[in-house]
Each structure stands twice: as C-alpha cells, then as structure tokens.
Structure 1
Amino acid sequence: MRTRFILIQTSHAGNVGAAARAMKTMGFDDLVLVAPRWANVLRREETIQRASGALDVLDNARIVETLDEALDGVTHLCATAMIPRDFGPPTRTPREHLEPLAGGEAQHVAFLFGSERFGMRNEDVYRCNVALSIPTDPKFGSLNLGAAIQVIAYEWRLALGGYGVRDAAPAPAAADARAVAGMLDHWERSLVDIGFLDPEAPKKLMPRLQQLFNRARPTPEEIHILRGIAKAMTEAAQGRPGAPKTPSAVREDPAA
C-alpha cells in the first residue's frame, strides 16, 4: 500500500512540522501541501523545530497549487471530517474503515486534511471514498491538526500490521537447574540455622520453594543475591548474643 498525507491550505507552519513528525513515527514519508499560507513553509524555523528530527519527511514533501495535483496516482481517498455531511461519502471511524482496506487489494491511499481555520470544503469531501471521523468525546471533539494526523497515521499503521514492541533490554537468561538446586540446598541449611525449618519434620517447605523458583526462573545474578541472603541469615543466626552455634530447630508452619 502506498500512502500519502495531503494538507490543504495549512495556515500554521508548526503544524506542518508536527505532521512530518507524526508521519515519521509511523513509517510514512509522502507529504503533499496544497497552497499553504507560507511558500517557504518547509524551511521555516517553526516547521523545523516542530518536526523534531523528521527532516527527511520535510525534504521529501511537495508543495502544489491544486488538489488535483496532490491526488496524482491516488486510487483511494479518505477525508478527515469531524462534522457529518448530509450528502457525500459514508462516515466511518478510522479503525472500522482501515482494517478492511489494508486487507484488500493494493491501492495508493491518501488521507486528506483541511485547513485549520476552515476545515474541509464540501467539494473536497465529495471527492473522497470515505469520511473518517475520529471518535472523540462528543462534548469536546476539537483536535489539533498534528494530533489528528498522528491518530490517523497510527490507525493506518496498525491496520497494515504495525511495528512490534521491543523491550528496552533483552530478556535475561534464566539460571540453569544445577544453580537453582545449589541455591535451594544453601537456603535449606540457612532456614535450619535460623530455626525456621525443622530438619526432622521438613514437610513440604522445600518442594514448595522449588516450585516457586521454577515459576520465577531466576537469573544467575538473582541466584547470587539469594545465596548472599542465605549466607547472611546463617551469619546473623550464629552471631546473635546468647544464640547457640547450632540453634534448636523450630517446626515450620503446619499449614505448609
């Protein structure tokens, strides 16, 4: 699917930069401006600042005088209109319309956005296959142009398959079974030392801990920490004033 974003008579340079940024975050780069207020809008400082690094989209953008020029090659045109028309194309939510469109035959899709001051003319809406209406709060549906472009770009990218979410860091490898078993042996000795586990009547405490750590899948670093805790428990038990070097065992909770 080829994708184009068309802005008609844009009056604020910052919105052109915001549009470029919104498009680039979703992987689109075909931007066409129809008769913008500023002839040098792609080079204005406010535009560049609001683009926040999406300069390649601005470099690739084109300025034309008429909508006919902007629509060259387009086979499916989507208006973005918040106000329903009595006559014209059907009104759909972006997700309702774009999911089936993405699954159909390849087309050259364009999204049409009107002027910040006047919105879209009826004549332009009538040329479209659909009018997309973002389902905002009925009591306050006002969206900045850049925000509206971001929503449409996101919904279209989602319909096309989206981008996978990447973890900030790769998932750490789990410790092997031998390391977990060694840690549990260490913990068993330390639990006896602090009087929590009765070695003569251990019941199911250690098997339950085994299952806990099997679910947790601790990493080698976490195994090291757990063994350090076990060592500290033993040292604390043996170093308590008046505590015996081998404390008498205290039975574990019967419910365990």
Structure 2
Amino acid sequence: MLNNIRIVLVETTHSGNIGSAARAMKTMGLSRLYLAAPKCSPDQQALALSAGAEDVVKNARLTENLDQAIADCSLVIGTSARLRHLQNSLIEPRQCAAEALRHAGGGEEVAIIFGRERIGLLNEELMKCRYHLTIPANPDYSSLNLAMAVQLISYELRMAWLQTQQEQDKVMPVSAIGDTGNKPPLYPTAQQLEHFFSHTEQCYRQLGFIQNQGVMPKLRRLYQRARLETNELNILQGMLTAVEKYRIANKDNS
C-alpha cells in the first residue's frame, strides 16, 4: 500500500529540504518522491542530508508542474496552514493516513502535496485537492519546516499501515472463505477530474450560467466533496456533451 503513495514537493527552494524530506520518508517506509517545478536540483547537499536515503533522492521524479506530478492519482491531498475557507474538506494527519491507505490498498495512486517553504500551496493548487490537510500544532507557535511536516505525515502513514497489517493477520484469507465478487469502486485520476472541470466551465459559460469567478471554485469543492466514482464522472461528462449537442442543434434550427 505504501508503494502507491507519493510525496509531492512543490517548487522546493533549498536542496537540503529535498534530502531531509527523503530521509523522513524512508524511515517510515515511503520511497516515491516527486518534485514539481523545483527551484533547485537534488545535489550533494541533498544527498548529504538524506543520511542514507540517497536512493529516494536519486529516484525522485522531476516534473514541470504540479499537474504532471498528480495526473494519474485518484486521491490528492494538499497540506496548508491557511485553510479557513475550506472547512468542509479539512482533515488532520491521522484521518489523512487512514484515507490514503484505504485508497492505496485498492490499488489507487495517492498524492500528498507539500507546498513552498515560504508560502505553501497557492489557492488554485489547493483547489486541485480532494482533501486539505492541516497539522493541529500549537497555535502560539505552529512553525514546522518542510521536512518536519513530511516526517509527521509519514509517521502517521506508517502507523496506519502497521494497524492494517495487524488487522489483516486476524482475518481469514479470502481464498478460504470464497470471493464475494464485490469489487471496490474506481475513482477518476486528477487528470480526468481536471478535464471534467474544464469541460464543465466551458459548457456553463456557453449557457450563460457562469458569469463570475466565484462559481467554479464552489463547483470544484462540491464535486471533490462528493468523491465521484469513475462511472459517475462518465455520466456527468455524458450529460455535458448532450447539453452541448442540444444547444448546437437548436442553434442550427433557429
């Protein structure tokens, strides 16, 4: 399950943070590090601070932007300390770990995103996430550096994984009781969701429904909160296409 979870660092400025984050990951059994548009490349300082996690640093995937780093992920979780406007999608580290393991256990790709050292994730980046992770630190002194935050979340993932292993050891193997035939639901990737959001905005603008900048962020939050399954997303895509065809047909007839 842990192999289906990636840690994504966005526009990292200091190479030492890359190495320290890699060390934090490897101590907890995580190995998949993605660097989205990094401001620095993994160098000797990164390798030195990785303290034995050189393989995580050397195997890190570099992408041109965040969209590329999460394109094939069905669950995307963004971290931030400033999330008052996203109350409905807030989760804390323990809940985040449980949710990530649940999806990863079904074979889905999961991304947990950490923002820039100074300003974190931008609002438009947070809107790409289904859940928004906040660490309930001391409000009088909530300063966590990047590697500390990665270590904390990696620890919670490790503990959730260990709990899952213990529970599986107590359960009789499926082969002994027979397969019920019930398959877990499939969820769309971040890339598929972005295509749907783009299609939605285009269609609704043509209809005159969207006339200001505040509508799409609210629709994004609505659909992210609904946790659309792939077949449900396909239905919505089909509805948008049907509306477009109807509109074109009626326009031609007039």
- Give the number of the structure whose residues are more often helix, by fraction: 2
Kept in 1, the 8 Å contact 2:75–2:100? The answer is: no
What residue is the counterpart of 1:135 in the other structure?
136
Alpha-carbon separation, structure 1, partners of 2:164 and 2:66? 31
2:25 is matched with: 23
For 1:85-100, what aligned pairs fall within 5 Å after superposition? 85-87=84-86, 90-100=89-99
2:53 & 2:163 partners in 1: Cα distance?
Answer: 19
Question: Deviation of residue 87 (structure 1)?
Answer: 4.2
Q: Report whether the alignment pairs 1:154 with 2:155.
A: yes
Tell me the residue number matched to 1:5: 7
Structure 1: 4+ residue segments shifted above 3 A = 103-106
Cα–Cα, structure 1 residues 90 and 25, in superposed 2: closer, same or farther, change >3 Å?
same
Alignment size in residue pairs: 161
Aligned-pair RMSD on alpha carbons?
A: 2.0
The Cα of 1:98 is off from its aligned counterpart by: 2.5
Report the CA distance shift for 1:143/1:47 in structure 2 as closer, same or farther (over 3 A): same
Check 1:103–1:163 CA distance in 2 against 1; reply closer, same or farther (3 A cut): closer
The residue aligned with 1:79 is: 78
Question: By how many angstroms is 1:142 displaced?
Answer: 1.0
Output aligned runs, 1:63-212, within 5 Å.
63-87=62-86, 90-103=89-102, 105-161=106-162
| Structure whose CA Rg is larger | 1
State how far apart, in whole Å, the 2-side matches of 1:113 and 1:46 are. 20
The answer to whether 1:56 aligns with 2:58 is no
Q: Is the 8 A contact 1:9 1:37 kept in 2?
A: yes
Contact 1:89 1:126 in 2 (8 A): no
Cα 1:131–1:48 shift into 2, 3 Å: same
SS of the residue aligned with 1:158? helix
Structure 1, gaps ≥5 residues long: 165-256
| Match for residue 34 of structure 1 among 27, 33, 36 | 36
Against the structure 1 CA distance between its residues 74 and 140, is the aligned structure 2 distance closer, same or farther, given a 3 Å change threshold? same
Which residue identity lines up with residue 82 of structure 2 in the other structure?
I
Identity %: 38
* TM-score normalised by length of structure 2: 0.59
- How far is the alpha carbon of 1:163 from its aligned partner? 10
User: Residues of 2 paired with 1:97 and 1:80: CA distance?
Assistant: 10
- The secondary structure found in structure 2 opposite 1:6 is strand
Contact 1:79 1:130 in 2 (8 A): yes
Q: What CA distance in whole angstroms lies between the structure 2 residues aligned with 1:136 and 1:88?
A: 17
**Distance in 1 of aligned mates of 2:107 and 2:88:** 21
Q: Evaluate the alpha carbon distance shift between residue 77 and residue 55 of structure 1 in structure 2; reply closer, same or farther with a 3 A threshold.
A: same
List runs of 5+ in structure 2 lacking aligned partners.
Answer: 166-254
Quote the Cα distance in structure 1 between the aligned partners of 2:127 and 2:87.
5
SS in 1 for 2:35: strand
